Structure 1
């Protein structure tokens, strides 16, 4: 973990700079010359910064009292970030004395904290190390190093970040770090940078292109009933709709497991494993077949879905990496790992043929399923405590009367290194309940309204919390929790806290470890 230096204000001087202001420590001109008249003060802006050994070379743009400007090169024992505004006087032809460090330009201020509204927790930052220097070491304390890092991406690209770390960062090196909080970063190992960057970029693309499944399913109902629909397209629509489970059927564990397996979350794994026979009921596979039967609009679209679908077996695993980039519609950026995905419906275009509208809906539905898959990848990895977290996130459309209700589901398993090693060595002897399991559900079922469920299973002990946006629904569920507890106990589970709250779960920047909703050790 690397901590961001917590100076009181962005305009505060670093210790060497403050010493320079009080003692008259000097900047050494690389070419001795008179640049400031005797007794006068000039303003200087740091235009470039380069570390050479233990010294720091800077290009300064001086503005003299008469308004004339000139550029000079100087060196110092301490760095001044790019864009720094300082006041100097000249003591000798080869020396400039720093008087005071004044306000920096807004877009080049040295950041000692990150604004998590601009760079939310989980954001992957890229930067270039400009300087590194050892800090004064207290006897008995470990060494610490301070670096200036220029950000290369995000909304704060171009800003300079002040970073403290236990090891020196190589000057000129490129680094990637995941935002953990306003004052902490976690460096991403070199082996994982490109994959994480690709996942983050594809997830951003998919979230801006996706649309909710009910819009497509309603359109498919109309298509299946239309006499103008071709036989092949009608058969595909009817087959997809017939495979959707009814809400009552999901009370059966086997039916629920089958629905999750066919939700599209495991399509790529099935294809890579050669399980072609199990693709028939898979929703994502059926959507791709449907896309191949629909006409491409004039001029095509950003990525022709028919070509993508027909080349699917040959494109994998490139298919998973390219993630069906289609349509390019713009929506507000979602927080990484946000759950559930917000509902989004595409507006119909008046001049667009029905089948072309269906093509747009189908492509957007595939993008939504890909958003879930990429969110799973983004939340899978080694946590700060060394445990391995694996995430599966998907969406299952279910029938509810004449409507279709999307059930969003996220399942997470967290294992210690010892548990992971035991599972890999002897699957038949491995206790699946030894790991920590979490599940999240989100759905909107009439007349109950939007509901979210968060549950945790650890060592056979189940705890859970529910949120209902309608207050009357929250009261109804709360009155039934004792009956639910009895049914769970009858199944042999040790039941912990069960609570229902009105409203929605708390949202906002959080690390993956903060997603433990109930602390069983408290």
Structure 2
């Protein structure tokens, strides 16, 4: 990202302003105003608006004469006068206004040449509109520098005009976002990232309406695996997928948890890009795509596509080819966690294989919804910290049942921690880590967990929708604390509440949990 440094001490008046002031050509009126002011009379003027047109600057002035009369004038100038500038003018000719030289520097009072970090602390996200952009004269051999006036649109200094120097031109009229690095330094945040997040949010609104929970598909695959009359290749594909699922008792081991997350489907694209065929073979999403590639062979009229083509076109093509209809239901909020449970009902005149394909396509869509939610919540926070999100779902075998465990991990790093990580000198525990879990286990019912780990200190909140479950968990928190302490963790607050976690009106990228250091 580009570093933009605000100006240091300015000269009292630029050479162009001195020359223009001496010749009375600093301001040229769009329409001549003969007799506006008597010879030798001066008046106060305020710049109401500023707009750059080519190399000239178009101004709207409000002239306040000594007799109290106020007049709005349009004028052009060779140098920009920021909005809000107060100047003293005289009228040597009917089509010109001259600015008194001692007022030329005073007009710069409305222009910020440095930021007041008590009003806009370091890390504040500033938004502004580019009013002007000029090339500064430089000595031969020196890099080109552009000077721009930017009107601030937010923060405690909204309405002020900021003068910035940049190694590249800033388009007049464009909107900018920048993080405050210091009183004379800004770091621009590309708007493309915000547009990408908006696009992701729009995709989520429709994507989440296409997905369905994993247990419906897994139960159907169990029936296929037990059916001796099922197609041999299809039955083998179903058996491989079911055998790859972890059992609940295995997740007491940290390595087994890491392997389950790695095989959850959230990292399939990264594995393909990195060239790791061995890890792709055990990936849940890869299993689903293989299943979808095998099943259509027995469906009349279904397209015969390669796995590579299916990976690109799923799940939209499968839905269209098999006549899967969009269900009419309230659209969940993008970025919401956990994804709601949703089961597809069998459609009339639909065979088992069509239903199996519908369930598989909906399962792939659910994994994609988790992936897009991760992208939506990954970005730079208002304080300048980088928040990275991984969200996925791990189906766990529990006896003859399948329990989908929804997981969301977040890492928040300061700019310095980001730099240390790039140099491979960072301690992962220095970052702020958050984890959310959501599962529905009989007879406990739906349970959600939110925990955060920072500098070895762990704190957490649990919610159980059933009040008796909340009481049961609360009675066991002492044992949980002892086990965590035995692992070498410094344990903070641990609480359990009945109900569900509160959801604020803002997106998760903007929302923070309780900071114990505040």
TM-score between the two structures when normalised by the length of structure 2: 0.63
- Structure 2 residue runs of 5 or longer lacking an equivalent are 1-48, 52-59, 63-81, 87-106, 113-125, 130-152, 163-169, 178-187
Cα deviations across residues 421-460 of structure 1 (Å, max 9, x unaligned)?
111102xx42110000000000001111100000000010
Count of aligned pairs between the two proteins: 372
Asked if residue 456 in structure 1 is aligned to residue 452 in structure 2, the reply is yes
1:440, 1:425 → 2: CA distance?
A: 29
Cα deviations across residues 39-75 of structure 1 (Å, max 9, x unaligned)?
xxxxxxxxxxxxx977xxxxxxxxxxxxxxxxxxxxx
Asked if residue 434 in structure 1 is aligned to residue 434 in structure 2, the reply is no
C-alpha deviation, 1:247, in angstroms? 1.4
- Alignment map for 1:246-261 (pairs within 5 Å): 246-261=247-262
Query: Compared with structure 1, are the counterparts of its residues 250 and 380 closer, same or farther at alpha carbon in structure 2 (3 Å cutoff)?
Result: same
Asked if residue 470 in structure 1 is aligned to residue 457 in structure 2, the reply is no
Match of 2:309 among 308, 311, 317: 311
1:394, 1:511 → 2: CA distance?
A: 18
Q: Secondary structure in 1 aligned to 2:449?
A: strand
C-alpha deviation, 1:139, in angstroms? 11
- Alignment map for 1:503-514 (pairs within 5 Å): 503-512=499-508
Cα deviations across residues 142-188 of structure 1 (Å, max 9, x unaligned)?
789999xxxxxxxxxxxxxxx765578999968699xxxxxxxxx97
The match for 2:326 is 329
Cα deviations across residues 316-358 of structure 1 (Å, max 9, x unaligned)?
xx999x9998756244222121100000111101210100110
Q: Secondary structure in 1 aligned to 2:436?
A: strand
Query: Compared with structure 1, are the counterparts of its residues 262 and 323 closer, same or farther at alpha carbon in structure 2 (3 Å cutoff)?
Result: farther
- Alignment map for 1:86-101 (pairs within 5 Å): none
| Greater Cα radius of gyration, structure 1 or 2 | 2
1:329, 1:491 → 2: CA distance?
A: 48
Query: Compared with structure 1, are the counterparts of its residues 471 and 308 closer, same or farther at alpha carbon in structure 2 (3 Å cutoff)?
Result: farther
Cα deviations across residues 8-62 of structure 1 (Å, max 9, x unaligned)?
xxxxxxxxxxxxxxxxxxxxxxxxxxxxxxxxxxxxxxxxxxxx977xxxxxxxx
Q: Secondary structure in 1 aligned to 2:197?
A: helix
Asked if residue 377 in structure 1 is aligned to residue 343 in structure 2, the reply is no
User: Does the CA-based 8 Å contact 1:471-1:503 persist in structure 2?
Assistant: yes
The match for 2:512 is 516
User: Does the CA-based 8 Å contact 2:83-2:110 persist in structure 1?
Assistant: no
Cα RMSD (Å): 4.0
2:220, 2:461 → 1: CA distance?
A: 35
Q: Secondary structure in 1 aligned to 2:393?
A: strand
Asked if residue 289 in structure 1 is aligned to residue 290 in structure 2, the reply is yes
The match for 1:65 is none
2:464, 2:408 → 1: CA distance?
A: 18
The match for 1:218 is 219
Match of 2:414 among 397, 413, 416: 416
The match for 1:490 is 486
- Structure 1 residue runs of 5 or longer lacking an equivalent are 1-51, 55-75, 79-132, 148-162, 178-186
C-alpha deviation, 1:466, in angstroms? 0.2
Q: Which moved more, 1:504-513 or 1:409-418?
A: 504-513
- Alignment map for 1:30-429 (pairs within 5 Å): 134=83, 166=159, 189-295=190-296, 307=305, 309-311=307-309, 327=324, 329-330=326-327, 331-426=329-424, 429=425
C-alpha deviation, 1:246, in angstroms? 1.4
Cα deviations across residues 53-102 of structure 1 (Å, max 9, x unaligned)?
77xxxxxxxxxxxxxxxxxxxxx999xxxxxxxxxxxxxxxxxxxxxxxx
Query: Compared with structure 1, are the counterparts of its residues 420 and 256 closer, same or farther at alpha carbon in structure 2 (3 Å cutoff)?
Result: same
Q: Secondary structure in 1 aligned to 2:305?
A: helix
